[in-house]
Amino acid sequence: MTEDSNQPVLRFENVSVHYEDVAALDGISFEMRRGETRILLGASGSGKTVLLKTAVGLVRAGAGRVLVFGRDITALSEGELFDIRGRIGFLFQEGGLFDSLTIDENVSYPLVNQRGAKPEKPDAIENRVRETLRFVELEQTLEQYPSELSGGMRRRVGIARAVVTEPELVLYDSPTAGLDPITANTIIALIVKERDTRNAAAMMATHRYQDGQLMANYRYNPHSGDLERASSNGAEENGLKTIFMVLQEGRLAFEGTEEELKAADDPYVSKFVKR
Amino acid sequence: MLDFLKGPVQAMQDFVAIAGKAGKNVFRSPHYARDILLQMDSIGVGSLPVVILTGFFTGAVMAMQLARALSTYGATGQVAPVLCITLVRELGPVLTALMVSGRNAAGIASELGSMKVTEQIDAMRALGTDPIQKLVTPRLIATATMLPLLTIISDLMGMFGGFVVSEGMLNMAPAQYWNTAWKALEYNDVVQGILKPFVFAIIISLVGCYFGMQTTGGTQGVGRSTTQAVVVSSIWIIVTTFFIGRIFLNLS
């Protein structure tokens, strides 16, 4: 498969998903490029999770086309999807960790079990797992089980598992839902760090505008190891491309930059900006 | 009327789909050897105590009741052959399968069901692994290898139970018991005694996995799947044993 760098990593063409008679997604179209960050805002039940799941084929589009890395996945069989999913990281809303496996086994799971995974030496896998857990600052939990960790720690393990294979596209489903503001900011900082270290495309569903603001205006400084505000005259100059999308009952109510989002006069859309 | 049939037909279709995929995966890599071994340990070794106890007491009870019935004809000496044939052909496979079904179809359904309702199955799919390959096929392989072995153990324990009763209560000579028992068995009996558990194993593992993977509706749903898995697999075991028995009667 040849891919030029301009090809969108993810492209929705008029995608609809229906449950019984209710439309969970209704004619969604957008295009996401390499290195881009997308913030998916929306009230609960607006279709954020369904959109992310449709992007990896966990939910099948009823109409329209979904293209991942230029490949139409709507017609692929479950078997063919596994190879594409191997190139995407996915963080579930509740973490989706395997509760009968240790943190070590959870994070190494994609490396060991993925169908397309090259068989790696056990110590190479162990190094990768340690490295990734160090990245989310949870190296000491290797032998523990998910139930022994706090909600925020579980979310961080989920992030580690999503990015351990260094995927080209990472999808985060409400990474901060149900967390206190301090922990939530730590999680977002991790996601920013992950984005800026590897320059992978990321899409994050959230109902908190602050999460999006952090993603759009801060970047990771590898020297200080902290987040810092990107220079004030626009994020574009720093190579940060953050696009906001707002979902309303399955329809795309808004798509654009932060400035455009602030200026939007749609009452539903502007509700997310005003606090 | 047609709406009434929709449910069962849909269920049958889903079951066949899972069964087909699981069967195909047996011959396709990747094979998760570690999962297969773990399941063999849990299904095979884990079921040993219950299988040994059931086998032993089934044989003992059978010997006791047979002696009572056969004494009417003055044929108490026939206890061993009758017991041996019934155990190897029917009771050993069926009772072992029912025990393992109660233990493992329930275990499989509740484990997979909990994984389903907590999004862990979806997580597996999202991480690029096939849940059928990772969860269903290892359980199928493990049950299909362990159940025939468990049945053999159960048969032997049953004969031993019968022996203890014959020896202790009926004062039969030990050599006579084992001799007549051994001679009563024919090739046909043994083949059907091994083939049955193999078929039952497929039923137990696939029905357990099917109900597990179909679970919806939280913890209550997990309980429902577990119950259904045991009921459905037990019924299928009883029904198929009749048909397999019928086929083998024609063969002999």
Give the domain ranges of chain B: 32-251
Closest alpha carbon within chain B to A59: B122
Per-residue model confidence (pLDDT) at position B164: 93
Angle between helices B92-100 and B218-251 (to 10 degrees): 170
CA–CA min distance B25, chain A (Å): 11
Q: Is the C-alpha dihedral spanning A188, A192, A193, A198 positive or negative?
A: positive
Query: Which whole number is the average pLDDT over A40-69?
Result: 89
Judge whether A109 is closer than 8 Å to chain B, CB to CB: yes
Q: CB A110 to CB B127 under 8 A?
A: yes
> Which residues in chain B touch residue A69, judged by CB atoms under 8 angstroms apart?
none
Q: CB A92 to CB B126 under 8 A?
A: yes
Query: Which whole number is the average pLDDT over B96-121?
Result: 93
Cα gap A43→A110, rounded to integer Å: 31
Per-residue model confidence (pLDDT) at position A258: 83
> Which residues in chain A touch residue B122, judged by CB atoms under 8 angstroms apart?
53, 58, 92, 96
pLDDT at A6 over 80: no
Vertex B118, ends B117 and B124: CA angle to 5°? 105
Q: CB B126 to CB A99 under 8 A?
A: no
Q: What is the mean pLDDT of chain B?
A: 91
Judge whether A31 is closer than 8 Å to chain B, CB to CB: no
CA–CA min distance A114, chain B (Å): 5
Three-state SS string over chain A comes to CCCCCCCCCEEEEEEEEEECCEEEEEEEEEEECCCCEEEEEECCCCCHHHHHHHHCCCCCCCEEEEEECCEECCCCCHHHHHHHHCCEEEEECCECCCCCCCHHHHHHHHHHHCCCCCCCCHHHHHHHHHHHHHHCCCHHHCCCCHHHCCHHHHHHHHHHHHHCCCCCEEEEECCCCCCCHHHHHHHHHHHHHHHHHHCCEEEEEECCHHHHHHHHHEEEECCCCEEEECCCCCCHHHCCCEEEEEEECCEEEEEECHHHHHHCCCHHHHHHHCC
Query: Which whole number is the average pLDDT over B114-135?
Result: 90
Nearest to B127 among A83, A94, A114 (CB): A114
Query: Which whole number is the average pLDDT over A222-228?
Result: 78
Q: CB B120 to CB A83 under 8 A?
A: no
CA–CA min distance B122, chain A (Å): 7
Judge whether A96 is closer than 8 Å to chain B, CB to CB: yes
> Which residues in chain B touch residue A161, judged by CB atoms under 8 angstroms apart?
127
How many Å is the maximal CA-CA distance in chain A? 56
Are A245 and A48 contacting, i.e. CB atoms less than 8 angstroms apart? no
Of the listed ranges A118-127, A144-153, A254-263, B36-45, the least confidently predicted one is A118-127
Task: Tell me the residue type at B196.
Answer: K
Per-residue model confidence (pLDDT) at position A219: 83
CA–CA min distance B202, chain A (Å): 23
pLDDT at A233 over 60: no
> Which residues in chain B touch residue A109, judged by CB atoms under 8 angstroms apart?
127, 129
* ipTM exceeding 0.90, yes/no: no
Per-residue model confidence (pLDDT) at position A235: 47
Of the listed ranges A226-230, B70-74, B180-184, the least confidently predicted one is A226-230
Q: CB A82 to CB B129 under 8 A?
A: yes
Judge whether A86 is closer than 8 Å to chain B, CB to CB: yes
Of the listed ranges A261-265, B98-102, B143-147, B218-222, the least confidently predicted one is A261-265
pLDDT at B15 over 60: yes
Are B22 and B132 contacting, i.e. CB atoms less than 8 angstroms apart? yes
Q: Between these two residues, B173 and B228, which has the higher pLDDT value?
A: B228
Query: Which whole number is the average pLDDT over B105-116?
Result: 94
Q: CB B128 to CB A114 under 8 A?
A: yes
Per-window interface: A 152-171 vs B, CB < 8 A: 161
Q: CB A82 to CB B32 under 8 A?
A: no
**B171 in the Ramachandran plot: left (φ > 0), alpha (ψ -120 to 50) or beta?**
left
Q: What is the mean pLDDT of chain A?
A: 85
| Residue matched to tokens 């495309």 | A201
Of the listed ranges A30-34, B43-47, B96-100, the least confidently predicted one is A30-34
Per-residue model confidence (pLDDT) at position A118: 63
Q: Which of A84, A88, A90, A159 to mutate to test the interface with B (most CBs of B within 10 A)?
A: A90
CA–CA min distance B27, chain A (Å): 15
Per-residue CA distances from B94 to A190, A227, B41, B81, B201 (Å): 56, 66, 21, 19, 11
Burial A137-149 (b: 16+ CB within 10 A, else e): ebeebeeebbeeb
Reported confidence tier of residue A171, pLDDT bands at 50, 70, 90: very high
Reported confidence tier of residue B176, pLDDT bands at 50, 70, 90: confident
Per-window interface: A 39-68 vs B, CB < 8 A: 53, 56, 58
Q: CB A58 to CB B125 under 8 A?
A: yes
Reported confidence tier of residue A54, pLDDT bands at 50, 70, 90: very high
